[in-house]
Chain A
């Protein structure tokens, strides 16, 4: 309950206050200006301050500069008179109990760790603002680091050495820059089957068959990973042991696996289509195509002049004309007048 109230108070701090607690009201009835934006007139106690300052300056002037000097040289504080440190009476051994804790305020009731209620004097930005500033400071800190510290890292750089024949294994680790991540413990190892030392071709084949789907026939690389164990080191150890076992098995002549065919069903080689070289329009090819087209035109023209070019439409027309010509001309026959006895209809 108290927390909610405390939070309410903290939010209320972000709003302009009506009552400033720095002064004590002079009259019994406080003068209130709820909507005023000007500064309250406070009691003028500047004259007292001036006197205090005067005193302090005089005291400082009276001080012997030698004392300071000695103190600095001896490396300690000011000399303490040791004679005064004697403890004679029993009562002097009594240790005063510590001062009672500050009284817990109204808003901290039930939650002592929140401490006493704070007073707000209207001279600070809100907690949200502080958060923003904090973030900005943090960013600036990293920017400073990037500008000043990171270039120094180049001093630590080592020249790249390509892996040699003696180091055919390539391990891959993953870091999440200090964060906890379930995959941070994972270790992946890759090695080329042909790079493994002291393997006859038959043993290499057996190694590939044992590796199963972990073998990629396009690249000749076996890839294995492990995240069984809690730590990276354990996983790496396991991988190394597995590879050793694989090699030992591959070298085992008892069963050479010669009768087992390779199984690459897990691998689908990527098809790459390349633009055919012959299709590139080089000047020579352009020239060739141009002459070919010219020859075609000439060929057609020659056929046309010889009358051997075949026009489909013309052939059909000719055939139709010939058909008509071949058809027997219908003979006109004189119609004999009807001499029927029937009634003739006149119109």
Chain B
């Protein structure tokens, strides 16, 4: 490599050595570092010398007390079931196991007995958006559809071959779908059924709870241990009376030793306390519940639209996991679709949501199809083949029937408005005129709107 320094005299004359700047360019000047001022040349102040320090004024800080850990969530999720300022309604009947379809409760507002309320609270059947906090104690209107569910309960118990009723509850926003689900659960509790309720399907699929592949499953399924253990604890708390009647009958080959006198309630509690074993214990509990001479089962889920699509979980090869590949969801969907029946009979209820429903074309179309099938089984709508659809969901919902919730009738509206007035929440005379007016303004008796228009709205 020739060195320029060896021929210094030549290098200076070399064209290449000349400074290669475009004669008219101003870039160098513009991008050059700013010239150093005199202050920076002086260096830091000498030791012992004083220099001016201007402190930045501190921002005014919010000195208010922060909410404690989990306090916000507690406030958000708090269920208030009583209002001591509301009046007690005299002459209101309570629902019990025998009067589910009695004449006295048809179209009337009935109270929920204390133990049922506790159980319902344990399975998180009450929602914050519902108006329980405005009345003295929880009470519901036995509307036409509630009586239909009561009829299903009776059917299941009366059927010889142990019937499984599968229904999707659909209806407009605030038409009382979740409340109907709650009524179904209450009836099941009253009849000493085993109730398993998934209060919000969204919690299962949005990736907020831990998941792990289920060993030995093909295609891979995923268990959600934390959620399952919580579910088991809910089952144990809400069904303790029923579950403690039965002991385990088979060896479930769990990694912990179970004494033969273990009751099912104990088993569920065990699962609640050991999340890593929650899924095997859940399956063991399910096996026990499906043994002969066990009570019927009520399976319920709210916001079913969430589990009719891909979940937010990722598989090992970074693909979205389909919701039906989650073990718990699959367990529910198998029963909803009728792939698995309940050997002791029971009801599988799934409610859609009007306010928090992700777009699920499969569910939408299945509902349409079911409604058309109920009307006329020959003339069925066709799926638009140019729309993308989740085939698995479509398959699973192929022959599920819907329970459509319409508005209240005027008689039902009158009953509930009389209840409002008797509770001291409606300062008006409940006559036909007021009922008619409110009923119409509530979109032909949509119960949520009716409540909003008569109790919540203060004029």
Contact = CB atoms under 8 A, between A and B. Distances in A.
A319 B428 contact: no
A316 B87 contact: yes
Chain A CB count within 10 A is highest, among B426, B427, B428, B431, for: B431
A312 interface: yes
Given A296-B432, A300-B432, A319-B87, A312 B385 contact: no
Interface string A241-272: 00000000000000000000101010000000
Contacts of A319: 87, 424
Nearest to B432: A296
Contact of B386 (A263, A296, A297): A263
Interface string A51-85: 00000000000000000000000000000000000
Nearest to A304: B431
Interface in B387-442: 418, 420-422, 424-433, 436
26 contacts: A261-B385, A261-B386, A265-B386, A296-B432, A296-B433, A299-B432, A300-B432, A300-B433, A310-B418, A310-B422, A310-B429, A311-B421, A311-B428, A311-B429, A312-B424, A312-B425, A312-B427, A312-B428, A312-B429, A313-B427, A313-B428, A313-B429, A315-B422, A316-B424, A316-B427, A319-B424
Interface residues of B, number: 18
Contacts of B418: 310
Contacts of A310: 418, 421-422, 429-430
Contact of A300 (B386, B421, B424, B431): B431
Nearest to A316: B424
Contacts of A20: none
A240 interface: no
Interface string A277-302: 00000000000000000001101100
Interface of B: 87, 385-386, 418, 420-422, 424-433, 436
A315 B424 CA distance: 7
B124 to A, nearest CB: 33
A309 interface: yes
Contacts of A312: 420-421, 424-430
Contacts of B431: 300, 309
A309 B435 CA distance: 13
Contacts of B386: 261, 263, 265
A316 B426 CA distance: 9
A312 B428 CA distance: 5
B248 to A, nearest CB: 53
A211 B77 CA distance: 58
B216 to A, nearest CB: 39
Nearest to A293: B432
A261 B387 CA distance: 12
B301 to A, nearest CB: 33
Given A311-B428, A312-B429, A315-B424, 8 more contacts: A261-B385, A261-B386, A296-B432, A296-B433, A310-B430, A312-B424, A313-B429, A315-B421
Contact of B87 (A263, A300, A315): A315
Contacts of A313: 427-429
A152 to B, nearest CB: 58
Nearest to A297: B432
Contacts of B426: 312
